[in-house]
Amino acid sequence: MDKIGIFDFGGQYCHLIARRIRDLGVYADIIYEPSDEYKGFILSGGPGDVYTDQAPKLPENFFLDVEVPVLGICYGHQMIAQAHGGEVKKGEEREYGKKIAELDSSSPLFFNLSKREQVWMSHFDQVAKLPDNFETIGKTNICPIAAYQNLEKNVFGVQFHPEVIHTPSGDRILENFIEITESKKEWKLEGWVESKIDQLRSEIKDKRVIMGTSGGVDSSVAAVLLSKADINAHFIYVDTGLMRSKETEEVSNIFKNLGIENFHVVEAEDEFLDNLIGIINPEEKRKIIGRKFIEIFEREAKKIGNFDYLGQGTIYPDRIESAQPSKHASIIKTHHNVGGLPEKMSLNLVEPLKELYKDEVRRIGKMLGLPEKFINRHPFPGPALAIRILGEVTKDRVKILRNADAIVTEIIEASGLYNQLWQIFPALITVKSVGVMGDKRTYDYMITIRAVESIDAMTADWSKLPYSVLEEISNQIINKVSGINRVLYDITSKPPGTIEYE
């Protein structure tokens, strides 16, 4: 089938571009070198500065050798301009978030768009001077060359990000580029399941897999895929002592109801808490938890028998934020099941979902027959409550946060808002503030509530929850959770924040 290649220059949205192209019906690969098999190329954004020696570069003679259409996004937009003799430099102002761009709707890239469109910007550098034979087709009040084209070469560039949902007409722009490449729309996710099951069966054969399961959507869907492939697998759930209220009981019931055999629960609270004593740095927390998971998996594997593979529910965003496999990406945070893994393990990895995003995983879950309520469960991080405690993790602090989490979940489910949110959770800020209760001074911790709306977790908007709901959450936490005297509400989107705090 026709394919479009996405050059990875380390942008956090690089794989999101591929996702959008796939959603529009054309298969997309993440690549580092050009090939004749592609009908077009998209150059991703990235954290580098194109005018520095360390900046990621295109292969030599790229524009001399490539004859198919090319679209540059953000860093890619700047790279194309520079490669053709244009000038890129620091802008006078940073430009982040939603902006209004004036577009030339006569351009084939902006076909069927309005002359004024909301776009998502995330840059400081910008194209200051266009190369010869290039023309401006878009601008904002801060960025006079927000988009350009060279119709003779079929080369286009946009400083903004059409791949994120905050550019409402972004899919239309990408679809226009697909039309420019004359690619046939032949990619469907439905064929992925059978192909993946066949691949797992062929790859693993008669070898044995020990699968790490958290009870979340990702690891559960991965477990069902392994189960359907008739692979000799055992499924390990580690109770780290950092879990939500009744989490272990609920996870055990989920796997029982899914009919998955060889499910084992390992109680390891003391091990994890002992290893986290005095640890404040979020990256250290994640890596310690990752190493401890592997130690326990390997130890349990020896008890059960000899295993060859460690199965995980790793998905694309985990790898992207951990800067893997990109050689250019900036590490946002190390996910315990990716960058948190030790360099040397006795088990090989098998990660059936590592090329998919959360919404794709949910669609796969539906195809596999998982219950709707389970599929729509909010994401819960592998390191669990440890990365929702901003500071040292102790047993008392985990108890405080676990109690607050149970209250938040109960209220949101009762309000009918649960399925409207991507996530909602409390986090414990281990800084104390003065309060007053029963005419007495208190000096206790603060809880912050994080509620976001998103499609794929690559970008997210803070949710405008009703004041009455926020008031009930605050009142119940203050009244029922000992050690808390103040509740805050986080109104930060992603970017600039991440969804989780650590």
CA-to-CA distance for 19 and 320, rounded, in angstroms? 13
Is residue 199 within a helix (H) or strand (E), and if so which, with residue range? helix 190-204
CA-to-CA distance for 399 and 392, rounded, in angstroms? 13
- DSSP assignment string, 433-493: EEEEETTEEEEEEEEEEEEEE-SSSSSBEE----HHHHHHHHHHHHHHSTTEEEEEE----
CB 223 within 8 A of CB 255: yes
Beta strands at 87-103 and 135-139: parallel, antiparallel or unpaired? antiparallel
Sheet holding 263-267, edge to edge: 263-267, 232-239, 208-213, 309-311, 348-350
Beta bridge partners of 7: 31, 43
CA-to-CA distance for 79 and 86, rounded, in angstroms? 9
Helix or strand or coil: residue 213?
A: strand
Helix or strand or coil: residue 232?
A: strand
Q: What is the DSSP letter of 47?
A: S
CA-to-CA distance for 90 and 92, rounded, in angstroms? 7
CA-to-CA distance for 362 and 10, rounded, in angstroms? 26
Locus of tokens 């803070």: 462
Residues acting as catalytic residues: 74, 161, 163
CA-to-CA distance for 126 and 78, rounded, in angstroms? 7
Q: What is the DSSP letter of 494?
A: B
| Amino acid identity at 402 | R
Return the C-alpha torsion angle 6, 8, 9, 11, nearest 10. Answer: 90
- DSSP assignment string, 143-190: -TTSEEEETTTTEEEESS-TTSTTSTTHHHHHHHHHHHHT------TH
CB 433 within 8 A of CB 415: no
Cα angle 237-242-246, degrees, rounded to a multiple of 5 = 70
CA-to-CA distance for 224 and 152, rounded, in angstroms? 50
